[in-house]
Structure 1
Amino acid sequence: MRCFIPLFLVSIWVGSVFSKDAALETVSKHGQLAVDGVNLVNQYGEKVQLKGMSLFWSVWMPYYYNKTTVDGIKEYCHSNIVRPMMAIDTQDGGYLTDPEGETALIDAVIDAAIEDDMYVLVDWQDFEAENHLEQSLFYFDRLSKKYGSYPNIIYEPYNEPITLEWSSLVKPYHEAVIKTIRANDPDNLIVLGTPQWSQRLDLAAADPIQNQTNIMYSLHFYAGTHQQWERDITKAAIDAGLPVFVSEYGTVNADASPPVNLTETLAWYEFMEERGMSYVNFAVSDKDEGAAALIPGTPPEKVCREEYLTESGKIVVEHNKA
């Protein structure tokens, strides 16, 4: 059932959950990130929280892969992190068929994020990355060589594994990519996708990657679909010592369709804020669907402007700036 709550009440609620305006929590303020136990900490060892926006798949919305968009995400979506999503293998192309073109799109966002003093989470948008290991290793070797010296960079080398085979398939893939990244970049954060579209944290908690530092495990949720049962799985994983990063979430159903489920979205915000978790909303998109933060036809220069935000976009931005 759709729950209608006036936006001013949302603003009051989010202000009560000890959030900060994420746009002010910059790289120059926090510097090199690290993982301490289950917590993300800054260069001073203080807990830090990243809140921001994911772009849509690069192959379908390349017009947002530029500095104008990143500027808007920081200033008007009140974000300290942006997540470019590099398409790997779709019916319309991706990295496997156009590595130079896709790499250039991602680099443009990375360069803009560095200039804007933001963190940037680079997503290998794949559901069967274990089948593309060679290409993935090549890409992350290049990426970590080019940008590994910047504290802005966060790696997400496997977006959403479909398979439930964590120990035999997904974990070995991650270990290979981590080894490649660490040869060039020993410090920056790596966020690791978990089975069943990054929902089965329990499988990773039962067999975590050993002898590595500054790694976290990704959780993806959509408030209309993933509710208390998913929070229970997440809580148990964190209680077991697994550091969790919400690299993608939506206020609607898992297929990106409406309606916005405000009650569950607020429950998730409370859950994440209580634990100081970082999270990135899907998506800076003008597609006519519930998960889109922008109304159809929004140009890059109007990204995140209030009059161009959807119902979902308004809720997310109100929370990011609280």
Structure 2
Amino acid sequence: MKCVFLLLGLTLACFIDISTSSDAALETVSKHGKLSVNGVDLVDENGDKVQLKGMSLFWDVWMPQYYNKESVVAIHDACHSNVVRIAATATTDLDGGYIQTPDAILEHVYAVADAAIEADIYAIIDWHDHAADTHLNYSIDFFDTVSKKYAGVPNILYETFNEPTQEDWSTVLKPYHEAVIKAIRANEPDGIIILGTPTWSQEVDKAANDPITGQTNIMYTLHFYAGTHKQWLRDTASGALQKGIPIFVTEYGTVNADATAPVDEAESRKWWDWLDENNISYANWAISDKDEGASVLKPNTTADQVCQESSLTESGKLVVAQNSK
């Protein structure tokens, strides 16, 4: 608190500034506890609205150097985040993933999730796949394994399908999600589960027209890249909210949808204003030193340098400033 003195005419006035910081780094698990969904809002254990703001890691098979405690501490402290997203690779053509080497992927997941618990922040365990409907048995095995390990831990959220492409919502994606939800709920009866939507997780309206029923604490994924996705997608998402669909932006970028520059600061700010007005949580893509516009980090940044001022790209500087507001 601070006392501010103002000269008003001939009167000396004193008032107390009781505003609080919205720096996401201060909005930790020890403050908010286990999360749940109330209507379209994410709320804390007291029923108060809460917003998660943070960073998504890159595909773990391609950026394993950031899947460690050093990165997670920096994501909290220097990136001003209260959530980290774990992009657990399902499979890739050349470098594999959980389907090929499950133990290696689980090692990455556990390293970050355990570090997030120690750092007092939330973590989203994401099945990072574009064809998860064709890998259902592997998805179920993965989520059964991780939800057993973290059952009852308030820090952990689950994301069942990163980015579907052209799969139909009602006949393909909805049944897929229902099967994976069942596997998670066998171990974790009330944790937050976030569900990918059609067309690279943009068509939340399709889910709003045919939502999953009989479940609590589920949300629907919205992804955007500010240089490509503009007011039309915000309008689509607003329509879904009006139909009662809770949304979580588990991935967004300040650049184009192909991750290339330039940074679209004006459109990014429009998105952030809309997200904040609607109490929607968001995680930026990505903690990566790949030489592309969406990367937060400059090439050759080490884990202990994550989000240091000298390591940040143009996009990274903008995102970190937003997280600290």
Q: TM-score range by the shorter chain?
A: over 0.9
Contact 1:19-1:273 within 8 A present in 2 as well: no
- Equivalent residue for 2:125, pick from 122, 127, 147: 122
Compare relative contact order (CA 8 Å, sep 6+) and give the higher one, 1 or 2: 1
Task: Tell me how many residue pairs correspond in the alignment.
Answer: 305
Offset of 1:87 from its aligned partner? 1.1
Q: Secondary structure at the match of 1:249?
A: strand
Counterpart of 1:299? 302
1:200 aligns with 2:203: yes
Counterpart of 1:8? none
Indicate the RMSD between aligned Cα atoms, in angstroms.
0.9
Partner Cα distance (2:243, 2:76) in 1: 34
Partner Cα distance (1:243, 1:21) in 2: 23
1:285 aligns with 2:288: yes
Counterpart of 2:257? 254
- Equivalent residue for 2:242, pick from 224, 228, 239: 239
Percent identical among aligned pairs is 58
Detail structure 1 runs of 4+ shifted over 3 Å in the superposition. none
Partner Cα distance (1:47, 1:133) in 2: 33
Q: Deviations over 1:152-208 (max 9, x none)?
A: 000001000112400000000000000110111011100000000000001000000
Contact 1:252-1:260 within 8 A present in 2 as well: yes
Counterpart of 1:312? 315
Q: Secondary structure at the match of 2:58?
A: strand
Counterpart of 1:30? 32
Offset of 1:297 from its aligned partner? 0.5
- Equivalent residue for 1:221, pick from 219, 224, 229: 224
Offset of 1:84 from its aligned partner? 1.0
Offset of 1:299 from its aligned partner? 0.5
Code of the residue aligned with 2:120 in structure 1: it is: D
Partner Cα distance (1:144, 1:184) in 2: 6
1:144 aligns with 2:130: no
Contact 1:136-1:177 within 8 A present in 2 as well: yes
- Equivalent residue for 2:72, pick from 51, 70, 73: 70
Contact 1:124-1:157 within 8 A present in 2 as well: yes
Q: Deviations over 1:93-147 (max 9, x none)?
A: 1111111101111110000000000100011001110110001101101111100
Offset of 1:19 from its aligned partner? 7.2
Stretches of structure 1 that go unaligned for 5 or more consecutive residues are 1-17
Stretches of structure 2 that go unaligned for 5 or more consecutive residues are 1-19
Partner Cα distance (1:228, 1:248) in 2: 17
* TM-score, with length taken from structure 1: 0.94
Partner Cα distance (2:268, 2:304) in 1: 28
Counterpart of 2:49? 47
Partner Cα distance (1:103, 1:164) in 2: 27
Pick which of 179-188 and 42-51 moved more.
179-188
Code of the residue aligned with 1:278 in structure 2: it is: S
Map 1:72-221 → 2, pairs under 5 A = 72-91=74-93, 92-221=95-224
Partner Cα distance (2:165, 2:92) in 1: 16
Partner Cα distance (2:224, 2:98) in 1: 25
Q: Deviations over 1:277-307 (max 9, x none)?
A: 1000000000000000000010001001011
Counterpart of 2:6? none
Code of the residue aligned with 1:73 in structure 2: it is: I
Partner Cα distance (1:282, 1:180) in 2: 28
* TM-score, with length taken from structure 2: 0.93
Partner Cα distance (2:96, 2:143) in 1: 19
Partner Cα distance (1:139, 1:59) in 2: 16
Counterpart of 2:15? none
Q: Secondary structure at the match of 1:248?
A: strand
Q: Secondary structure at the match of 1:57?
A: coil
Offset of 1:276 from its aligned partner? 1.0
Q: CA, structure 1 residues 135+164, in 2 after alignment: closer, same or farther (shift >3 Å)?
A: closer
